[in-house]
Amino acid sequence: MKMLYRVTKRSIYRIITQKPLWHNNRESIGSLFSRKSIVLFASRTYGSKNAKYNRLINESEFAEKKWIRLKSSREEGRFWKGL
pLDDT digits (tens, 9 = 90+) for 23-36: 888 888 888 888 88
pLDDT score of 32: 83
Cβ contacts of 4-8, under 8 Å, gap ≥ 24: 4/39, 4/42, 4/43, 4/46, 7/38, 7/39, 7/42, 7/43, 8/39
- Using CA atoms, how far apart are residues 5 and 73, in angstroms rounded to an integer? 13
Look up the pTM and report it: 0.67
Tens of pLDDT, residues 2-56: 888 989 999 999 999 998 888 888 888 888 888 888 899 999 999 999 999 889 8
Three-state SS string across 17-37, please? HCCCCCCCCCCCHHHHCCCCC
Q: Which three-class secondary structure state does DSSP give residue 61?
A: coil
